[in-house]
Amino acid sequence: MPGDALRAGARLRKDAARLARDPVPYVKAMPLPSNILEWHYLLRGPEDSPYAGGFYHGKLIFPSDYPFKPPSIYIITPNGRFKPNTRLCLSISDFHPDTWNPTWSVSTILTGLLSFMLESTPTYGSIVTTDEAKQKLARRSILYNLQSAVVRDLFPEEYEEMKKLTMQQRSIPNAVMSYTLFACCFVMFIYIARYVLQNSA
């Protein structure tokens, strides 16, 4: 109903203002400019977790009767915890309207999502992977997200940060190769100099 959508929009704008005043650690979220009912989030992997160094893009689809009903929750970036682009079965998602509390906000949802990501409880949409696999996906997540126009437009600061991290990662092999080449040339120079000195004596 149009009236419900208006109320949902008003509530989501309040949630956005609250989120701006009191950000959720490790997670940033913004609605699409064209649709207040579709939010996108960017979760930064906590330092003491297998997701450290990774960035994870996902979305929240709110119903027109929010906050009386919960949103659908998706994660888009491959992460090793949840299937990408799959509606997640969480106590804060539309899979469980019976456990939803209308006083909860976008901040509550993001905090709960981070908590679910850091644990290993199986649920619909979850997958089982090793910490090593999660770490590998964390390293790959930056390049994956740089292909997203939504990430670029909604999270420009983080997008630029990811671009810089990618450039740094690419420069490391070149630096190692340059150092290795220099070391080889230096050793060869020492060997040749020693050979010349021995034969000229």
Question: What's the pLDDT tens digit per position in 107-159?
Answer: 999 999 999 999 999 999 999 999 999 999 999 999 999 999 999 999 999 99
Amino acid (1-letter code) at residue 64: S
pLDDT of residue 197 exceeding 80: no
Close Cβ partners of 6 (under 8 Å, ≥ 6 residues apart) = none
**Catalytic sites, residue numbers:** 89
pLDDT at 172: 45
Q: Radius of gyration (Cα) for the chain, nearest Å?
A: 24
pLDDT of residue 70 exceeding 70: yes
pLDDT of residue 173 exceeding 50: no
Average pLDDT on 92-121 reads: 97
pTM over 0.95, yes/no: no
Backbone phi, psi, residue 5, to 5° = -60, -40
d(CA 75, CA 113): 10
Output the six-digit token pair for 129. Answer: 């992977």
E-assigned strand segments in the chain: 27-32, 35-44, 55-61, 72-75
- Count other Cβ atoms within 10 Å, centred on residue 47: 9
d(CA 78, CA 84): 6
Burial group, residue 35, by CB count within 10 angstroms (0-12, 13-18, 19+): exposed
Average pLDDT on 51-73 reads: 98
Find, among 63, 68, 72, the residue nearest to 125 by Cα.
72
pLDDT of residue 41 exceeding 90: yes
Backbone phi, psi, residue 30, to 5° = -145, 145
Q: Which of 3.10.110.10, 1.25.10.10, 3.40.50.300, 3.10.580.10 would CATH assign to domain 2-154?
A: 3.10.110.10
Amino acid (1-letter code) at residue 43: L
Percent of the chain with pLDDT over 70: 83
List the domain boundaries for the chain.
Answer: 2-154
pLDDT of residue 175 exceeding 90: no
Pairing of strands 27-32, 55-61: unpaired
Residue 182: band (very low, low, confident or very high) from pLDDT cuts 50, 70, 90: very low
pLDDT at 130: 98
